[in-house]
Structure 1
């Protein structure tokens, strides 16, 4: 029997990239951007830059993933290149922010989209939804796969259907639209708000690194990993541009600015109240795949981290079928706490800020790969990728820190707690 039977091809890898990327961000962030940036060219430019950054980031991760064999991603890159404290910190960030915050945000967005039914689906609903999904992932790998694949299928079909419908339907002259193709973009792209809007965009593209976490499971990795990343990222970028176009086409700025359930607003204008409600239900349903994807991957990374740690050891235990049940529910509990302690936008900003910071640290490890270590890009022009990523990253992080100081400090506070825990963990493991 060939070893390839347990490996996935580029199509499955691309599907993982797509299902991990398309989630909360695209359906919630336009309202925050429109508070300051209203030119359609500026908004499209934000999403194109986000796509390019995701792609160059993905190329760096493809190279790192094929050099540091096996699964583990940033944890291995940072621990091996810099110092074990960075490996510990990225695991701590993954536990608290990287995987639990997106679960919280997706569940909050779900409750927001369902509030079209004149019933307040509040935080309680969001928390119950998280625990129900966590339960669905706790039986066996087969059940988890079926559950996740079904909702991922719903997600992709829904996005395609929505794009065809939204592009095809003409806008309502009574309601108006947000499309603005004037020259004001030239001023807007120089505003600090343009840089802080990038934070919402880079968050919406998170997941570009997901295929590199499973580099060990992709057959003919040198060829198939870059292929899956390029195809997945291009598909997502085009989808994001079209979804934004639809929202701008079917609703005026005054109706969208500052709101989270932007697609729902546009859908009701587009299809009338009763069909608009159906779109809201589907947006909520496709977010189930987002929650399940983050709980699935997050619990596996947390389990691996917990095995090597003294404090977190209990999180490494699984059930009889080998499912890391304790880690799954740990993420669910942390997500519930996050929901109870912050507003949607606040959680969004500190999550995006810290994830951008740690993605930059992980990308910087590429500079330490020798030419003979690189498996995919042999030429030294390869260094353009990490350099472009890091320059944009510094620009985004600087403006976010200056203009969203409170949220940035919350994020940095969580990192500081991680450093203290690392020192305690090391002391306790030395004693034992």
Structure 2
């Protein structure tokens, strides 16, 4: 099918831009808050660190696998396009349906609210003021990205480097000036398989977000080479950062303090710098969340845009239009309008939680799609192939299935409701097919 509008998207993003999208979206607020949950469930420093390593191995296995798919199908839309090519249009539509109407704008709303809430560390704000500020953040970030994709990517690069600075400071000072004389890596109160599994699950959530860089494939200068490199290098840097920051935390403050804290990174900064340390970390969290908001904004709108390009959305002519600035302006406006409504309604957390179960099914299908790609699409040119095939893909699939099964048992009603929301898209899909 001819897609005349997509050719107007400017190919102006390089490897560094793509890497900062990966790192900026993965390293959000989780690096500052997740250590407590992971160590608490793991039961010992050794198993806590090991959980971060295993979570990283699963993430990089998925990344190595999806990199081959991304290099073989380097089109704007990421998972939507991969599912369409590998499983058919129906599966792709259902993913795009929940991504466009629920997860994309819901995530934007959640990040904007967290960002506005974090501002209260510096300026007192009422609940209503926080909502208005969140909407202002959404409109501001949208405007920057509508003006220029390159501008949005430059901001992402600056913010990603800036967000790593407080983390690097804590890591360096933790290893050089940590006050905990000796960490007993073998001690534990109670170690269980279920607890260690919950710790790994916590790290897997912290590694989430990297797959969205594929949404930008149509705007990368050399997607066949840069997509795999950005995913692999970006995730590798993230794994190193996560493991080192957790090592540093238990050297700065005792593990019991980490476990019992709601904000272990802030407590570590206070131990290093005094009360000013809390402000230092609060600023780092602000920058980190802003980077995640920009990354989700930049990548998320490419899904409805790609769907419109494939005539898989109502009003495709509107959503698939490229502005004179070379950006999908209408898709931006639609997604941000929904996000603002979610902010005002306060429903964003519930909505995004409801469809996480379904989204992980789609992510697992994407990783498993490597087997379809290898068997049915042998003619597609490959600039990259996943190493140790099929072992690496299987590791990624097992990790993804673990998240699905854990969610099914821990939140069965969310899983059911999320599935219902997804299936509500089928009448729309069949209507579009009939209309075509």
TM-score, scaled relative to structure 2: 0.81
Partner of 1:328: 332
Partner of 2:41: helix, strand, or coil? coil
Match of 2:142 among 105, 115, 134: 134
Q: Unmatched 5+ residue regions in structure 1? A: none
Query: 1:213 deviation in Å?
Result: 4.1
Secondary structure at the aligned position of 1:36 is classed as helix
> Residue 283 of structure 1 aligns with which residue?
285
Question: Which residue of 2 is the match for residue 207 of structure 1?
Answer: 209
User: Aligned partners of 1:157 and 1:202: how far apart in 2?
Assistant: 23
Structure-2 change in CA distance of 1:283 and 1:55 (3 Å): same
Structure 1 residue 107 corresponds to structure 2 residue 116: no
Q: Which consecutive unaligned segments of at least 5 residues does structure 2 have?
A: 1-9
CA shift at 1:205, angstroms? 1.5
Shift of 1:30: 2.6
- Distance in 1, Cα, partners of 2:259 & 2:123: 21
* 251-260 or 350-359, which deviates more: 251-260
RMSD value over aligned CA atoms? 3.6
Choose the corresponding residue for 2:405, options 398, 401, 414.
Answer: 398
Separation in 1 of the partners of 2:387 and 2:155? 44
Could you say which residue in structure 2 is the equivalent of 1:219? 222
Looking at structure 2, the residues matched to 62 and 298 of structure 1 have their Cα atoms a distance apart, in angstroms, of 19
Per the TM alignment, residue 104 of structure 1 is displaced from its structure 2 partner at its CA by 3.6
Deviation, 1:43, is 1.8
Cα distance change of structure 1 residues 266 and 347 upon mapping to structure 2, 3 Å threshold: farther
1:383 matched to which residue of 2?
390
CA distance in 2, matches of 1:61, 1:181: 35
Which is worse superposed, 348-357 or 318-327?
A: 348-357
Partner of 1:119: 124
Q: 2:361 aligns with which of 357, 361, 372?
A: 357
TM-score by length of 1: 0.81
Partner of 1:90: 95
Query: Does residue 76 of the first structure (1) align with residue 81 of the second (2)?
Result: yes
Do the aligned partners of residues 380 and 256 (structure 1) sit closer, same or farther apart at CA in structure 2, a change above 3 Å counting?
A: closer
Residue aligning to 2:41: 36
Say whether the 8 Å CA contact 2:83–2:92 is kept in structure 1: yes
Tell me the distance in 1 between the aligned counterparts of 2:383 and 2:212.
Answer: 18
1:386 offset after TM fit, Å?
1.8
- Partners of 1:199 and 1:352 within 8 A in 2: no
Q: Does the 8 A contact of 2:71 with 2:223 survive in 1?
A: no
Q: Which residue of the partner structure matches residue 418 of structure 1?
A: 422
Q: What displacement does 1:348 show?
A: 7.3
Aligned to 2:65: 60
Q: How does 1:244-259 map to 2 (within 5 A)?
A: 244-251=246-253, 257=259
1:172 offset after TM fit, Å?
A: 7.2
Q: Secondary structure at the match of 2:265?
A: helix
Residues 428/79 of structure 1: CA separation in 2 closer, same or farther (3 Å cut): closer
CA deviation map 1:270-311 (0-9, x unaligned): 311124213311320232111011101111222221342343
Change (3 A) 1:292 1:376: same
Query: Would you say 1:152 and 2:160 are equivalent positions?
Result: yes
Does the Cα contact within 8 Å between 1:61 and 1:212 map onto a contact in 2? Answer: no
1:200·1:352 contact (CA, 8 Å) conserved in 2? no
Give, in whole Å, the separation in 2 of the partners of 1:332 and 1:90: 19
Q: In the alignment, which residue of structure 2 is the partner of 1:311?
A: 314
Number of equivalences? 417
Pair 228,120 (structure 1): closer, same or farther in 2 beyond 3 Å: same
For residues 264 and 323 of structure 2, the distance between their equivalents in structure 1, rounded to whole angstroms, comes to: 40
Aligned residue for 1:266, secondary structure, equals helix
Q: For 1:186 and 1:257, locate their aligned partners in 2 and report how far apart those are by CA, in whole Å.
A: 14
Deviation at 1:427, TM superposition (A): 1.7
Q: In the superposition, relative to structure 1, how do residues 402 and 67 fare at CA in structure 2: closer, same or farther (>3 Å)?
A: same
Aligned residues of 1:19 and 1:152 also touching (Cα < 8 A): yes
CA distance in 1, matches of 2:303, 2:123: 39
Q: Distance in 1 between matches of 2:12 and 2:296?
A: 22
**Equivalent in the alignment of 2:5:** none
